[in-house]
């Protein structure tokens, strides 16, 4: 199989590499129903997707096949089997495997797992670096470096974790499943979108050394109905009435610590922000950012008879024209 023919079975089923057998089964059933030939008669594209989904499920639902697929990627079928002599009729990405009796011999020489002489002669030892992206080459092995080393690099992995604003602000202990494992992870106060949290020893298993890398949890923040986060600051929008904007007022504004009294200066403009120092997001070095209160002047949609009369009186005697400068605009 050429490298360009590699099929990412996890991507085909729309699940993560740490998906549990039940999650894989559920994803398969959903896609199988969607692309089944009975539901899509005479649809060649749906038929091809149905076959792909079945192929992916056949591998990922079998623990032994899935383990080989995770370790060896596109060459998982060749793991533990003899390679075709001379490579006749089999495209292995341009590499000649005819000199090896089986896949394990090839891996042993390439990674120097046992530090023995290779079939080509000479004592060799290699190390490799891995990436957390999509599998390339041998199921995620990439950037092989020809250096003296005592074993392969440890493989790290990454997963997303969704937090509410409250959980991220105050900190929380979350329990979630990672394959067959259940992890309890403490999220410190002040986690922000994109924050990466390290969980030691819970990454992928290095197939050569059986050592585990680290798991990095990338924080995703669920939207809040009132607050938004910008850097270390919390941002919110508060509606005020035209008379409050003109005359100034004292208004109540929610903060993470409770409601506070905010003084509006007379003549405040719509879109202007007022800063509440130390009421923002927790900082890693301690302390808090600021809370920015964005003012939005909102006129009433319905007026009482008396309110209408007073607004008409104000309009009749008003001297301020906010559009006076537009008279000088020319092209």
Range(s) of the domain holding residue 286: 228-306
| 91 and 27 fall within a common domain | yes
The CB density around residue 245, as the number of other CB atoms within 10 Å, is 21
Picking from 204, 221, 238, the residue at the C-terminal end of a domain is: 221
Determine the pLDDT at residue 40: 85
The total domain count for the chain is: 3
Residue 50's contacts (CB-CB under 8 Å, 6 or more residues apart) are 32, 35, 36, 37, 40
pTM summary value: 0.51
Determine the pLDDT at residue 178: 75
| 75 and 112 fall within a common domain | yes
The enclosing domain of 217 has a CATH number of 2.60.260.20
Determine the pLDDT at residue 206: 76
Q: Is residue 32 part of a domain?
A: yes
| 121 and 7 fall within a common domain | yes
| 121 and 17 fall within a common domain | yes
Determine the pLDDT at residue 103: 55
| 272 and 250 fall within a common domain | yes
pLDDT < 70 regions, the chain = 1-6, 74-75, 78-154
What is the phi/psi pair of residue 284, to 5°?
A: -60, -35
- State the sign of the Cα–Cα–Cα–Cα dihedral 254, 256, 259, 261: negative
Q: Which of 129, 136, 193 is nearest to 164 (CA)?
A: 193
Q: Is 307 helix (H, G, I), strand (E, B) or coil?
A: helix
Determine the pLDDT at residue 100: 53
For residues 117 and 101, what is the distance between their CA atoms, to the nearest angstrom? Answer: 15
Q: Is residue 324 part of a domain?
A: no
| 232 and 217 fall within a common domain | no
Q: What are the C-alpha distances in Å from 245 to residues 237, 238, 256, 297, 316?
A: 14, 12, 25, 7, 19
| 18 and 121 fall within a common domain | yes
Q: Is residue 315 part of a domain?
A: no
| 280 and 200 fall within a common domain | no
Determine the pLDDT at residue 105: 56
Q: Is residue 136 part of a domain?
A: no
For residues 75 and 203, what is the distance between their CA atoms, to the nearest angstrom? Answer: 22
| 32 and 117 fall within a common domain | yes
Contact (CB, 8 A) for 208 and 113: yes
Q: Which two tokens stand for residue 204?
A: 């992928």
Determine the pLDDT at residue 120: 39
């Amino acid at each position: 199989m050429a490298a360009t023919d590699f099929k990412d079975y996890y991507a085909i089923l729309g699940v993560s590499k740490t998906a549990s057998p039940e999650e894989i089964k559920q994803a398969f059933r959903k896609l199988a129903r969607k692309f089944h030939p009975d539901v899509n008669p005479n649809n060649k594209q749906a038929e091809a997707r149905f076959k792909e989904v079945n192929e992916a499920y056949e591998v990922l639902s079998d623990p032994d096949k899935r383990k080989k697929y995770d370790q060896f990627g596109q060459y998982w079928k060749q793991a533990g089997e003899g390679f075709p002599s001379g490579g006749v009729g089999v495209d292995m990405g341009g590499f000649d495997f005819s000199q090896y009796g089986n896949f394990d011999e090839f891996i042993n020489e390439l990674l120097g797992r046992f530090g023995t002489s290779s079939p080509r002669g000479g004592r060799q030892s290699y190390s490799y670096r891995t990436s957390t992206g999509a599998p390339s080459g041998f199921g995620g092995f990439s950037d092989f470096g020809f250096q003296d080393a005592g074993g392969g690099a440890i493989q790290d992995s990454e997963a997303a974790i969704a937090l509410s604003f409250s959980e991220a602000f105050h900190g929380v202990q979350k329990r979630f499943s990672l394959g067959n494992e259940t992890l309890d992870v403490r999220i410190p106060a002040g986690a922000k979108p994109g924050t990466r949290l390290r969980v030691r020893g819970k990454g992928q298993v290095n197939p050569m050394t059986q050592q585990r890398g680290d798991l990095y949890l990338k924080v995703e923040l669920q939207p809040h109905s009132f607050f938004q986060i910008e850097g270390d600051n919390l941002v919110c929008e508060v509606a005020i009435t035209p008379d409050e904007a003109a005359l100034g007022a004292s208004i109540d504004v929610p903060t993470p610590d409770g409601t506070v009294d905010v003084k509006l200066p007379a003549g405040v403009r719509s879109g202007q922000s007022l800063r509440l120092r130390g009421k923002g997001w927790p900082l890693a070095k301690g302390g808090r950012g600021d809370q920015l209160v964005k003012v939005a002047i909102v006129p009433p949609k319905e007026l009482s008879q008396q309110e209408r009369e007073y607004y008409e009186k104000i309009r009749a005697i008003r001297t301020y024209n906010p559009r006076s400068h537009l008279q000088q605009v020319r092209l």
